[in-house]
Amino acid sequence: MRNPYDMRTRNRRRIFFLFAVFCALIMLAVYWVAYGYALHYYAYEDLNGEKSYISRVTSAAFEYVASAAVSGSSSVSFEAPDMEALQKASRAFAWRAVALVFLFALLWLKLSDKVSTSMALNAAHAIRLNDAQHRELYRLAGTACIAAGIKPVKLYVVADKGLNAFSVGSSDSTAGIVLTQGLLDGLSRQELEAVLAHETAHLRNGDVKLMMAGLSSALLFSFLSEVLFLMAFNPKRGGVLGTVVGVLLGAVCAVMGWVALPLMRLALSRTAESNADAEAVLLCRNPQALIRALEKISKNSYVSVLANHPTMVAMCIAAPREKNSLVLSLTGFFSTHPPIEKRIAALRMMDGGH
C-alpha cells in the first residue's frame, strides 16, 4: 500500500502533466479552429483580387460540362483552381490567432492572480482580520508558513456559523487563508493550527492556481463550442461541408468543456485535498488534531455564500454545500472532495493506526 507521504510527489507529476496537456490542447484547438474558420471563410470570399475559390471551382466545372456538351466528348479535362493560396492564407490567419491567444494568455497570467483572488474574497464576503487583534491566530499561521517555506499570509473571516476554510492567491502579495467564524469558535487551538497547516499546504503546492487553470480551460472550450455552433449554422455562409465540420468541432469542444475537463478538475481537486491532509501532518506534527478538526467540520460544513460557487466549493477543506444525492455519492465522479471517512483513515494510518 502506498504511504500517504508519497502523495505530494505523485500529485506534482500529475499537476505538471495535466497543465501541459491543458496548454497543448488550448493552442491546438485555437490553431485548428482558426484554420478551419479561415479556410471556410476564404473559400467563399474573393482573395487577392481574384474570385473566391468556390466561384472558381463552380466556373471551372461549368466550363467542363459546357465544353463536353459542345464537343460531344467526355475526355475534356477538368482542372480545379490551385488551393495553395487558400491554404497559405488560412495558415497565416491560424498562426496569427495562436499568437494573439498566447499574448492574451501571458497578460491573463499576470493579472489573473489578483483578479481571481479579489473575486473569491468578494464572493465569500470575506473580511481581513487585523494583525494586532488576532496575534495568536497569525502566529499559528506564521508557524505553518515558516515550516512550509513560504512567506506569511493574510487571514480573512467569513461571518457564517458553518465550519469551513479555503485558501486564495498564488503569489506572496495575494496569498491568504479564509476561515469561517464557526471554525474560529468551534475548534481548539491545536485543531485550528492543523486546519491552517492544511491550507498552507495548498498554497505551497499551487493548488489554487491549478484550480483556476482547470476552470479557465473548461470555460475556453465551452466558449469555442458555442462559437463553432454559431458559425456552422450561419445562414450567410453556404456549404454543407462547413456546417458538418463546424458541428463536429463544436461537439468535440463541448465534450471537452462540459464533461472531460470538469471531471479531470474534480479528480485533481480530490487528490489535492488528500495531499494537503498529508502535508498538514508534516507541518504541524499532530495528525490527531487534524482528525478531530475534520470530524467537527464534517458535521457542519455548509456555508451559504460558498455553496453556489463551484470553483470555491473545490477550494474548501470540505464541501460547503448540502450532501450529494445517493447516485453521486456512490459514483464519486462529481465529488470535489474525497469522503471524510477515507481522509481520516489515511491520517490514522500516518499516525500508526491510532
Q: Which of 50, 84, 191, 199 is catalytic?
A: 199
Contacts 24+ apart (CB under 8 A), 318-326: 318/163, 318/164, 318/294, 320/162, 320/164
* Nearest-angstrom CA–CA distance, 277 and 103: 37
- Given a contact cutoff of 8 angstroms between Cβ atoms, the answer to whether 65 and 257 are in contact is no
E strand residue ranges, the chain: 127-128, 154-158, 165-168, 176-180
Query: Cα separation of 12 and 276, whole Å?
Result: 12
Sorted by sequence, the CB contacts under 8 Å of residue 133 that are 6+ apart come out as: none
**6 CB contacts (<8 Å, ≥6 apart)?**
none
- How many angstroms separate the CA atoms of 265 and 311, rounded? 10
CA dist 112 to 55, 102, 294, 306, Å? 46, 15, 31, 20
Per the CB < 8 A criterion, the answer to whether 348 and 354 are in contact is yes
Q: How far apart are CA 196 and CA 177, in angstroms?
A: 8
Is 79 marked active-site? Answer: no
Instruction: State the greatest distance between any 2 C-alpha atoms of the chain, in Å, as a whole number.
Output: 99
Show which residues are catalytic.
199
